[in-house]
Amino acid sequence: MTEAQRLLRRAAAFHGHTCPGLALGTRVAQAVLRELGPQRARDEELVAVVENDSCAVDAIQALLGCTFGKGNLLFRDYGKQVYTFIRRPGGQALRVVVKWRPPEESPQEREAWQRYMRGERGPEVQRLLHRRRSRKLRAILQAPLEELLHIRRLRLKPPPEARLQRSIPCARCGQRVMEGKTRLLQGQPLCIPCYERRCRCRA
């Protein structure tokens, strides 16, 4: 078993299944482990800034220890397969851009995908999509990292560490909310959903 296959198996145990998106995230994580050191983040010593919310990000959480809960996974909703990693305290950083393009699909596979998107789930559609997915997975796992990814070393100032904030009750619904996420309305702290509902009602 290759290193990429071994890492993908670990990522799939977290994600729930194996797919091309997870495989891409696995190869991104493999590049980070090679370039910034093999240590998985136990706390916030490695920060990931991800520019999409695809399956690939689950591989980064599973393999690199960058998670929302620890505060070292920062999401930028740009819809791009671009990732920046910063190692604390020194600020060594890596910017990884996925440049891989999927292999050419057969007309039958393209048609099967269109049928799947229309809601068809029959055996023929599943067989063709499985073949399509397997070919993509093999291509991603077997390609040299430099063919899949544009990797650039840089030095960046690490973002501030995650801030612990007290929770206070929303003056409208009573549910507790991080103080820094409240909105003031007539001097009363509201959670964001309550604030938005009140503002819509007053408009």
The 10s digit of each residue's pLDDT in 52-86 is 999 999 999 999 999 999 999 999 999 999 999 99
Q: Are 73 and 66 in contact (CB under 8 A)?
A: yes
CATH 3.30.60.20 is the classification of domain 167-202: yes
Asked, colleague to colleague, whether 3-100+143-155 and 167-202 share their fold, the answer is no
| Domain locations along the chain | 3-100+143-155, 167-202
Q: How high is the pLDDT of residue 176?
A: 95
Tokens of 156: 């960046």
Q: What is the pLDDT along the chain (203 residues), one digit of tens a residue?
A: 899 999 999 999 999 999 999 999 999 999 999 999 888 899 999 999 999 999 999 999 999 999 999 999 999 999 999 999 999 888 899 999 999 888 888 888 888 888 889 988 888 888 988 888 999 999 999 999 999 999 999 999 888 887 788 999 999 999 999 999 999 999 999 999 999 988 876 65
Tokens of 164: 């612990």
CATH placement of domain 3-100+143-155: 3.30.1330.130
Q: Model-level pTM greater than 0.75?
A: yes
The 10s digit of each residue's pLDDT in 88-104 is 888 899 999 999 888 88
Burial per residue of 53-62, b for 16 or more beta-carbon CB atoms within 10 angstroms, e otherwise = ebbbbbbbbb
Q: Are 92 and 62 in contact (CB under 8 A)?
A: no
Half-sphere exposure of 171 (CA within 13 A, CB side): 12
Rounded distance between C-alpha atoms, residue 114 and residue 116, angstroms: 5
Please state the three-class secondary structure of 19-41 as a single string: CHHHHHHHHHHHHHHHHHCCCCC
Rounded distance between C-alpha atoms, residue 182 and residue 109, angstroms: 49
Rounded distance between C-alpha atoms, residue 130 and residue 113, angstroms: 11
Tokens of 102: 């999927």
